Structure 1
């Protein structure tokens, strides 16, 4: 059974979040565009490195681990 969204939920979803929060969602929107998909194809390993460093700054990984993540 589907549950309806609460009244006003769609309108609320259109409102921007704080920049520090919005920044974490950049790739959701980037990869929905042809340009973003081309960037992923051309720069897969570099993108993996950017996302990994942004989301897990305390993790210290080797170049081999980055290369493996880029292949997933």
Structure 2
């Protein structure tokens, strides 16, 4: 868990969307899912459900707590 947190902090320093600015909550996220976007080109999705979540189209995943299927 500590390594996941360290990687998240590293990404936060590098990604331009994770500085100052507004975020927009995703109203279609559904129960048990937290999702928001920030400009330029960043979306955060946190799945609190016990089952897997299908990700929307994306260029890549920056951080995950589990291995992702292709």
* TM-score (structure 2 length as normaliser): 0.28
Higher helix share: 1
Higher strand share: 2
* TM-score (structure 1 length as normaliser): 0.27
Q: In terms of Rg, which structure is larger?
A: 1
